[in-house]
Amino acid sequence: MKVTDLRTTEYHEYYAGYIGKVPKTWTLKKGFDLGKTEVVEFFKTVPSDKLEYRYAENKWTVKEVFQHIIDTERVMGYRCFRMARHDATAMAGFEQDDYIKPSKANQKSMDILVDEYLSVRQSTNALIQSLSDEDLEFVGNANGAAMSARAVAFMILGHEIWHIDIIKALYL
């Protein structure tokens, strides 16, 4: 199953920018392995003097962006899980900015952030690998909009690419 298999009725237009970042050649199941490698390699190459850099006042540091990627995968992985289990109960949104300060990302080493990312990715990947096409196509409701489990999964992949592109453009 590739990103090109998604129908626009499976997700809110807000997520189109993230989903559009996923390479057309990636299958969903392979993308979680390829994405993991790219994310880890990228963050390990960020110079140490840039890890707590902010390109503007009130913007996140590189460490905080990485923590945001991890936290978002946790939240979206849960959404994917519920949808894949055919749970049609509406799920609330989450305010990403509220998660950063209590995460204490800037107090963590890059090794700890990488380990945390790998743990979350292993869990998400195990879920994705276990799902049938039927489960992935189930459409639930997240943040007031229809969303399929596979759209959530592709959004996770595109979201991390989106933020790496921003770091490359504005932080490095």
pLDDT tens sequence across 131-171: 999 999 999 999 999 999 999 999 999 999 999 999 999 99
* Structure-block tokens of residue 107: 């107090």
What's the confidence (pLDDT) of residue 104?
Answer: 97
**pLDDT over threshold 90, residue 74:** yes
Give the mean pLDDT of 41-64. 97
* Structure-block tokens of residue 95: 């305010």
What's the confidence (pLDDT) of residue 27?
Answer: 93
Q: What percent of the chain has pLDDT over 90?
A: 94
Who's near 5: CB < 8 A, 6+ residues apart? 150
What's the confidence (pLDDT) of residue 6?
Answer: 87
What's the confidence (pLDDT) of residue 2?
Answer: 87
Confidence of residue 3 (pLDDT cuts 50, 70, 90): confident
Long-range contacts of 168-172 (CB under 8 A, 24+ apart): 170/55, 171/46, 171/50, 171/53, 171/55, 171/62, 172/46, 172/47, 172/50
Question: What mean pLDDT value characterizes the chain?
Answer: 95
Give the mean pLDDT of 96-121. 96
**pLDDT over threshold 90, residue 43:** yes
Go through the domains of the chain in sequence order and give each one's CATH number: 3-170 (1.20.120.450)
What's the confidence (pLDDT) of residue 132?
Answer: 95
**pLDDT over threshold 90, residue 29:** no
* Residue 96 · residue 59 · CB < 8 Å: no
**pLDDT over threshold 90, residue 84:** yes
